[in-house]
Amino acid sequence: MQKKLVAPSLLASDFANLQRDIEMVNQSEADWFHLDVMDGVFVPNISFGMPVIQAMAKHAKKLLDVHLMIVDPDRYIKTFAEVGANNLSVHYEACTHLHRTLQAIKMEGMKAGVALNPHTSVKLLEDTIADIDLVVLMSVNPGFGGQAFIENTYNKVKDLKNLIEQKNSGALIEIDGGVNAGNAKKLVEAGADILVAGSFVFKSENPTETIKKLKEEIA
């Protein structure tokens, strides 16, 4: 069985102490870094872009899982590979030619991910799931950290797990938004492989310990 992973989202870190927070994740039991790129068009917020990711990559000793919340992501696939992204997830809702975009991501040597907004059905991935390495199920409306988890996500995880099995796909299931110690176990039991956690980790008193607790919760 696939090992269950925790990916802290640096969106909730202290940007004035980014290197310190990256080192904390390096030393912790976390598995990946989750990096949220927002353009102020696809989502009503702007986060950070390539120069910041390039700087993060110099210090990060774990895989960089980049979540693009941007329109027309095809324009930047090559650049994200150059600055150090290992996984690149685009939003289903932002792609006109999703299959082509997935191939382009893989051509650049990255794993290809597709993120779905809470209102987007997993059924829409029926014809692309075999080409997808990672599905990011948004459990909040994208754009901001610190929002409440949407309960319907459990149903979506189960539906997606069935689709993956039915189509013999190797896609992993990642959950993004409002993850905490209260929903982590139930998400993994429903079929999730990777849990992104931003606020729950970085706004806690002891982030290293919080990551450890989340890992124990899903072991």
Residues of each annotated binding site for substrate: 9, 67, 143-146, 176-178, 198-199
Among 31, 176, 193, 217, binds ligand 5RP (CB under 6 A): 176
61 burial (CB, 10 Å; 0-12 / 13-18 / 19+) is exposed
SS (H, E, C) 184-207: HHHHHHHCCCEEEECHHHHCCCCH
Binding at 172: pick from ligand 5RP, Fe ion, none (beta carbon under 5-8 Å per type) = none
Which CA distances in Å does 138 have to 50, 150, 171, 174?
23, 9, 16, 9
Question: How far apart, in whole angstroms, are the C-alpha atoms of residue 195 and residue 32?
Answer: 10
4 binds ligand 5RP (CB under 6 A): no
Among 153, 79, 161, 151, CA closest to 125: 161
Question: How far apart, in whole angstroms, are the C-alpha atoms of residue 155 and residue 163?
Answer: 12
Q: Which stretch binds ligand 5RP (CB under 6 A): 90-98, 124-132, 151-159, 191-199?
A: 191-199
Among 73, 113, 145, 191, binds ligand 5RP (CB under 6 A): 145
49 binds ligand 5RP (CB under 6 A): no
44-83 binders of Fe ion (CB under 5 A): 67
CB of 34 to Fe ion, least distance (A): 6
CB of 53 to ligand 5RP, least distance (A): 14
177 binds ligand 5RP (CB under 6 A): yes
What are the DSSP E strand ranges found in 59-168?
63-69, 87-91, 111-116, 134-138
Residues found near ligand 5RP in the complex (CB under 6 A): 9, 11-12, 34, 36, 67, 69, 140, 142-147, 176-179, 196-200
